[in-house]
Amino acid sequence: MSEKLSLRSQEWFQNMDKMGFVHRSWLRNQGYPDDYFQGKPVIGICNTWSELTPCNAHLRDVAETVKKGILEAGGFPLEFPVMSLGETIMKPTTMLFRNLVSMDVEETLRANPIDGVVLLTGCDKTTPSTIMGACSVDLPTIVVPGGPMLNGRFRNETIGSGSFNWMIKERQNKGQLMAEELYEAESCAARSIGHCNTMGTASTMAVMSEALGLTLPGISSIPAADSRKKVFQQISGRRIVEMVKEDLTLSKVLTKKAFENAIIVNAAVGGSTNLIIHLIAIARRIGVDLKLEEFDSLGSEVPLLVNLMPSGKYLMEDFYYAGGLSFVMKQLTTLLHKECITVNGQKIIDNYEKASCYNSEVIKTLEEPLKENAGITVLKGNLCENGAIIKPSAATPKLMQHRGKAVVFENIEDYHQRVDDPDLDVDENSVIVLKGVGPKGYPGMPEVGNVDLPKKLIEKGVKDMVRISDGRMSGTAYGTVVLHISPESTIGGTLAIVENGDYITLDVKNKLLQLELSDEEIQYRKLNMKPESLDVNRGYVKLYVDHVEQAHLGADLDFLVGKSGSKVSRDLH
């Protein structure tokens, strides 16, 4: 270790006085020997393990593997828990708690003798929340993704542990999935440890962590159950110790060019729309100016190279066997900023020069992509003054330019009550409008934007419709769905005044989402609408509603933007 580099942890451990005694003494009850307090880098292992988060339920074992690597490299590992966010369990939505977990991570890192940190991630929000918190402290940081499940197999059908969810209503309505078969499919869909095995939000955030340079190259695609994942976990433990010695902090990795690389990679892999809101929030924590429009200008013309659900056919296990993200990165050499430094200390493009493809059905090339111009499109118009987004690779081509009458649901309860009413005035040309599901309105901006189609249309064989909302969509979902409308309806955005029968135009080619009303009529309706009443009066939820920013700003809390830093000047006695 360089003599010029002083370890942050030594502020706690080096002094031979009362406070040095206090800091060392209580850790002694775990049986740590003298040399642990005499200059070993202290590495925090931030564990999002929880039995309430099925995707992360194996991370206890992962932590032990990471510890081996830390010890081998001469570090002092200290594991700590943070609140865990299970996408499949928590109500009303894990997005409500993403910022809370980021606060948990930030304050735990600042308050304790930690020189570097390993973030153990998996389910959707555990990745952005922990990275956001770590960014605000800016220590050497490495991400260890928990990995996707193995492929689901149901009666000789390959099914995704996420995407299959969105087929259930259709199959049940057609009499193709009875109760007994549903139980069987449950076990077949989620048959191993790990998170969703489609290119949903969990896999997207793992892949994007690697594209940002925050993981060892090659780790993000490996299934959780594959023993090769353990090798990377152990090596990650070794590497974080070296990163501390090199003072390779987050801000040295997360440059503006690193974020631009991630946007390009997300388009190429057909990643989740949720990445947008998380990446903007991460950028604002580390001090990088990242605009919503850049997801369009940088990514909308990038071709789709990966044939994975929900945009394609295969799953993450197939992706790994075919060459994984490593080969995608090699394919994107001409589009990426090659000089970006990653956590292994190498330039990002040098990490992938030897990558190969072993299945051209799963991973395509720039010359022969799966789809052209498949990245995120950012829409503007009088319905979304600050922007809205759509994922063309998951949409129906013929609906990308569409004009239809609005069928309006004022909130999610209204939708559930009326959507399957046989008398609902709706046809396949209608535009389903869902209000009240934005950051403040729900609260928490849930993944309800890709609402199920009305039963009577499913029975007619309708597969897709234009749907618009101020909410989000699961990364495992698909359809012609406009999301993240900003400003949201609850705070008086134009979405709030849309009525049944109003015509709406969606023109993805021209990046337009327009309500066909005059400016005068829109203003009249806004002046005469009743303000939304938010019945929130206590606890974290009140803090969230009072301070959450809009979707185009990443839906972070306004007072969390930026860094707190790692310095804490006052002691506990």
What was the pLDDT predicted at 167? 64
pLDDT digits (tens, 9 = 90+) for 460-486: 999 999 999 999 998 777 899 999 999
**Digit-coded pLDDT (tens) for 176-201:** 676 777 777 777 788 899 999 999 99
Measured between alpha carbons, how far is residue 453 from residues 391, 420, 444 in Å? 18, 8, 23
* Domain presence at residue 486: yes
Instruction: Give percent of the chain above pLDDT 90.
Output: 86
| 434 and 295 share one domain | no
Q: Is residue 56 part of a domain?
A: yes
Assign 8 to helix, strand or coil.
Answer: coil
- What CATH code is carried by the domain that includes residue 458? 3.50.30.80
Residues 409 and 507 both lie in one domain: yes
User: In terms of domains, do 287 and 408 share one?
Assistant: no
* Confidence label for 239 from pLDDT (cuts 50, 70 and 90): very high
pLDDT greater than 80 at residue 324: yes
| Residue 67 CA from chain centroid, whole number | 26
Instruction: Indicate the range of 365-374, 470-479, 504-513 predicted with least confidence.
Output: 470-479
Q: Does residue 114 have a pLDDT over 60? A: yes
Tokens of 292: 């919503």
Contact call for residues 369 and 301 (beta carbons, < 8 A)? no
Residue 173's pLDDT is what?
67
Distance in angstroms (rounded) separating the CA atoms of residues 279 and 214: 13
Q: Do 323 and 386 belong to one domain?
A: no
Q: Indicate whether 479 belongs to any domain.
A: yes
pLDDT interval class at 143 (50, 70, 90):
very high
Indicate whether 563 belongs to any domain: no
Work out the number of other CB atoms within 10 angstroms of the CB of residue 16: 7
User: What is the reported pTM?
Assistant: 0.95
Say yes or no to pLDDT of 226 above 90.
yes
The burial of 38, by beta-carbon neighbours within 10 Å (0-12 exposed, 13-18 middle, 19 or more buried), is given as: exposed
Residue 551: DSSP 8-state: G
The pLDDT score that the predictor gives to residue 2 is 43
Q: Tell me what the pLDDT averaged over the chain comes to.
A: 94
Q: What confidence score (pLDDT) does residue 1 get?
A: 43
Q: What is the mean pLDDT of the segment spanning 236-259?
A: 98
Q: What is the mean pLDDT of residues 41-64?
A: 98
**How far is 76 from 114, CA to CA, in rounded Å?**
10
Residues 409 and 299 in one domain: no
Residue 406 shares a structural domain with residue 287: no
Which helix or strand (DSSP H or E) is residue 188 part of? helix 179-189
Q: Note every long-range contact of 536-540, with CB atoms under 8 Å and residues 24 or more positions apart, other chains counting.
A: 536/443, 540/97, 540/100
Torsion angle of C-alpha atoms 267, 269, 274, 279, degrees rounded to 10: -70
**pLDDT recorded at residue 8:** 96
pLDDT at 158: 79
Average pLDDT of 487-511? 97
Q: Whole-angstrom Cα distance, residue 201 to residue 272? A: 5
Contact by Cβ (8 Å): 252, 341:
yes
Mean pLDDT of the 535-563 span: 96
What φ, ψ does residue 116 adopt, rounded to 5°? -155, 165
pLDDT at 403: 98
Question: How confident is the model at residue 174, as a pLDDT?
Answer: 67
Cis omega before residue 92 (within 30°)? yes
Average pLDDT over residues 357-372: 96
pLDDT tens digits along 152-179: 877 777 777 665 665 666 676 667 676 7
How confident is the model over 388-406, as a mean pLDDT?
95
Q: What is the 3-state secondary structure (H, E, C) of 73-98?
A: CCCEEEEEECCCCCCCCCCCCCHHHH
Please count the structural domains in the chain.
2
Are residues 391 and 266 part of one domain? no
pLDDT of residue 157: 77
Residue 172 lies in a domain: no
Query: Domain for residue 548, yes or no?
Result: no
Q: Are residues 383 and 277 in the same domain?
A: no
Q: Please indicate, yes or no, if residue 371 is contained in any of the structural domains.
A: no
Please check whether residues 327 and 397 belong to one and the same domain: no
- Co-location of 287 and 146 in the same domain: yes
Structure confidence at residue 3 as a pLDDT band (50, 70, 90): very low
Q: How confident is the model at residue 80 (pLDDT cuts 50, 70, 90)?
A: very high
Q: 126 and 266 in one domain?
A: yes
Domain residues for the domain of 431 are: 377-532
